C-alpha cells in the first residue's frame, strides 16, 4: 500500500541526524555521523564554527567545554575567557582562540549526563572538510547521504573578520558535492547570514526559529509572512501541544509554500504529552513535517518505515 504524506511535496519527510547519532555517541564525531548513516538517516547535521586560523569545524557552540576535554588541558588553562553572547556572558574556551592544530589535540565528550559516557576522550573534533570527505566517500559507494549544515553564530565570526559564507560554499565546491548529486540544506538562526548565502548560491535555505517564549525575549521572532527561505527549522514546541495534540503551524507554512523541518526529537526526552519518542514522531508525521531532526535517527527511520 502506498503511503501518502502531508509534506509540502507529498514525498516522505527527511530524517536529519541531529549532530550525528548524538544520542548514542558524543555529538559531531565521525563515529556519531557514521552511525547515523548506517542507521539510514537521510541527512547528517554538522553545526559549524571556526578556529582562529579560519578552519570550519563541527561544534554546537562557540565555546568548547560542554563537548570536549579542553578543561583537562593545563596548556590551555590561560585561554579561558569571559565573552558576551546573545544568551548572556559566559566564561569558557572559545573556538576562535585556538588554531585547528590545537583543536586537534582535544577529544570529544558526551554532553548529556544520562547518555553513554564510555566513548568520551576517544574521538577527535572533526573539520568540515572531513565531513565533506565522509559524504563524498558514501556517494562513491552509491549512497547519497545529505548534509544539513548549520552556521553557528556567523555574526560573531564576521565581527572578528571571519566570514563564514564563502568558506562553506567554497569547501563544497572544491569537493564537488553538487556534481556528485549530494543533497544539501544550509540553516541558521541569523537571517542576515542566510540572505548573504542566497546572494551567492541556490542551495535551499532553512531559517531556524527558536520558538516561544525565547523568540520574543531575544527579538528573534519571525512571522511566516516574512519567511523568504525555502523553509523554516521550527522548534517542536511550535507544533506539539502538551496535551498530545498538534498545532496548525505546518498547515499554515505549507499554505505559503514553506517547508517545515522540526527540531529536536530525543528518545530519552519525549515531548510533554507524548508517551515516547515514537508517538511524538508519528504526531510530527501526521502533522506533515517535511523534515525531523533527531538525536536517535535509527528510531525515526523505523517509525517512518512502519508509518
Cell of residue 264, nine digits: 529536536
The residue ranges that bind ligand G3P (CB under 6 A) are: 18, 45, 47, 60, 150, 187, 208, 233, 263-264, 293
Residue 42 or 45: the one with the smaller Cβ distance to ligand G3P is: 45
Q: Does 47 bind Ca ion (CB under 5 A)?
A: yes
Shortest spacing between CB 198 and Ca ion, in angstroms: 19
Judge residue 137's burial from the number of C-beta atoms within 10 Å of its C-beta, 0-12 exposed, 13-18 middle, 19 or more buried.
exposed
Count of beta carbons in the 10 Å neighbourhood of residue 193: 25
Q: Which residue has the closest beta carbon to Ca ion?
A: 150
**CB contact set of 220 (below 8 Å; sequence gap of 6+):** 189, 209, 210, 214
Stretch that binds Ca ion, among 51-59, 131-139, 143-151, 195-203 (CB under 5 A): 143-151
Q: How far is the CB of 151 from ligand G3P (least distance, A)?
A: 10
R_g of the chain, CA atoms, integer Å: 19
Q: State which residue, 44 or 70, has the beta carbon closest to Ca ion.
A: 44
Q: How far apart are CA 107 and CA 144, in angstroms?
A: 28
Question: Measured from the CB atom, is 225 or 238 closer to Ca ion?
Answer: 238
* Residue 61 sits in the site that holds Ca ion (CB under 5 A): no
- Would you call 159 helix, strand, or coil by DSSP? helix
Which residue number, 7 or 208, has a Cβ lying nearer to ligand G3P? 208
- Which one of Ca ion, ligand G3P, none interacts with residue 264, CB within 5 to 8 A by kind? ligand G3P
| 150 forms part of the interface with Ca ion (CB under 5 A) | yes
Q: How far apart are CA 66 and CA 244, in angstroms?
A: 32
- Closest to ligand G3P by CB, 33 vs 306, is 33
State how far the Cα of 205 lies from the Cα of 98, in Å rounded to an integer.
29
Residue ranges that bind Ca ion, judged by CB under 5 A: 47, 150
Amino acid at each position: 500500500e502506498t503511503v501518502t504524506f502531508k509534506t509540502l511535496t507529498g514525498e516522505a519527510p527527511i530524517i536529519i541526524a541531529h549532530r550525528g547519532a548524538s544520542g548514542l555517541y558524543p555529538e559531531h564525531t565521525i563515529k556519531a555521523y557514521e552511525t547515523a548513516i548506517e542507521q539510514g538517516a537521510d541527512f547528517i547535521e554538522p553545526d559549524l564554527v571556526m578556529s582562529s586560523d579560519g578552519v570550519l569545524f563541527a561544534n554546537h557552540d562557540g565555546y568548547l567545554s560542554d563537548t570536549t576535554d579542553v578543561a583537562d588541558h593545563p596548556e590551555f588553562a590561560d585561554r579561558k575567557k569571559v565573552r558576551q553572547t546573545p544568551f548572556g556572558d559566559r566564561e569558557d574556551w572559545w573556538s576562535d582562540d585556538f588554531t585547528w592544530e590545537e583543536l586537534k589535540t582535544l577529544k570529544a565528550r558526551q554532553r548529556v549526563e544520562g547518555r553513554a559516557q564510555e566513548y568520551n576522550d576517544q574521538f577527535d573534533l572533526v573539520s568540515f572538510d572531513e565531513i565533506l570527505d565522509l559524504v563524498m566517500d558514501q556517494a562513491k559507494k552509491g549512497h547519497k547521504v545529505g548534509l544539513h549544515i548549520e552556521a553557528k553564530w556567523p555574526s560573531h565570526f564576521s565581527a572578528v573578520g571571519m566570514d563564514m559564507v564563502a568558506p562553506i560554499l567554497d569547501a563544497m565546491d572544491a569537493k564537488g558535492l553538487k556534481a556528485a548529486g549530494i543533497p544539501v540544506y544550509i540553516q541558521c538562526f541569523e537571517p542576515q547570514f542566510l540572505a548573504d548565502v542566497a546572494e551567492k548560491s541556490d542551495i535551499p535555505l532553512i531559517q531556524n526559529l527558536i520558538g516561544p517564549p525565547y523568540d520574543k525575549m531575544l527579538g528573534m521572532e519571525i512571522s511566516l509572512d516574512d519567511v523568504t527561505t525555502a523553509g523554516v527549522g521550527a522548534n517542536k514546541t511550535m507544533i506539539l501541544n502538551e496535551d498530545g495534540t498538534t498545532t496548525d503551524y505546518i498547515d499554515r507554512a505549507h499554505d505559503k509554500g514553506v517547508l517545515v523541518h522540526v527540531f529536536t526529537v530525543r528518545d530519552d526526552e519525549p515531548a510533554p504529552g507524548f508517551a515516547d519518542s515514537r508517538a511524538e514522531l508519528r504526531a510530527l508525521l501526521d502533522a506533515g513535517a517535511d523534515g525531523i531532526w533527531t538525536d536517535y535517527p535509527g528510531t525515526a527511520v523505523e517509525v517512518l518505515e512502519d508509518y
